[in-house]
Amino acid sequence: MTGHSGAIGIFDSGMGGLTVFARIAERLPEESVIYLGDTARVPYGTKSAETVLRYARACADVLLARGIKLLVAACNTASACAVPALEQSLGVPVIGVIEPGARAAVQRTRTGHIGVIGTMATVSSGAYPAAITALMPDAQVVGQACPLFVPLAEEGWTEGDVPTLVARRYLEGLRGAGIDTLVLGCTHYPLLKSVIGPVIGQSVALVDSAEETAVTVEEVLTRLGLRAPAGSQARREFLVSDGPENFARVGKRFLGGDLDCVEWIDF
């Protein structure tokens, strides 16, 4: 199979990456996309970097076997822990969400004081501070892990007293740190925007990397001559390692529309 007849492969630990899928599918309507949610091993964010890398390789192998031309790690944890290693070892371009997110933050900030929230694994990895200071060496980056945000988003408790109290507790330190930009460093967090925004303060810009990741995918495909020919028939496929019905049901919250045809695969 030659490069440009293949699809874009996207993987995530579960359904958070659907926010990235949506931006890529909108921006590149003629490209076929295969989304793989590793729902049997979800979450990645509480696990060690070694285990996350192992799972990310397994996801990449599944997608490569389906002839993808480019791989997107649509998961901050996997991007932080696995993209550098995958870039070295795979035969296709690999794009994570950390560098696009860092670029978006640097474009937004005026003071250079940037906050980053994410899973324990993402925050511990130091990947965001590294990516941000590579672009803006004098940036001040403060990180905060928010482990309860993912279960809250998956439970659908995205507004009201419980998520507000949880957000206040996690963001207390960042509120005193004088940031003007906050990176939502986990693909689930955009679902909690209406809580995070008021708690952190309306003067702080919230950045999520989905849109910027889609821009990067377009740039890379174009540069490498891998764009699908005009008029191509685009396919959208969803693969999961567990619970296709649940994925289709909860996935609606992320896509705002039905997901038909979710396939269960064992790997």
Catalytic positions: 75, 186
Residue 51 or 133: the one with the smaller Cβ distance to its own copies is 51
Q: Which helix (H) or strand (E) holds 112?
A: none
- Nearest distance from residue 202's CB to its own copies, in Å? 24
- C-alpha dist (Å) from residue 94 to 126, 136, 156, 215, 256: 20, 23, 31, 14, 27
Nearest CB to its own copies, comparing residues 48 and 194? 48
Shortest Cβ distance from residue 34 to its own copies (Å)? 21
Least distance CB 243 / its own copies (angstroms): 5
| DSSP-derived pairing of the beta strands 262-264 and 236-240 | parallel
155: tokens are: 């439970």
Measured from the CB atom, is 218 or 242 closer to its own copies?
242
Task: Name the site residues for its own copies (rule: CB under 8 A).
Answer: 39-42, 46-48, 51, 147-148, 150-152, 154-155, 157, 161-162, 165-166, 169, 241-243, 246
What is the C-alpha separation between 72 and 193, in angstroms, rounded? 23
End-to-end C-alpha distance for the chain, whole angstroms:
23
Beta-bridged to residue 62, according to DSSP, are none
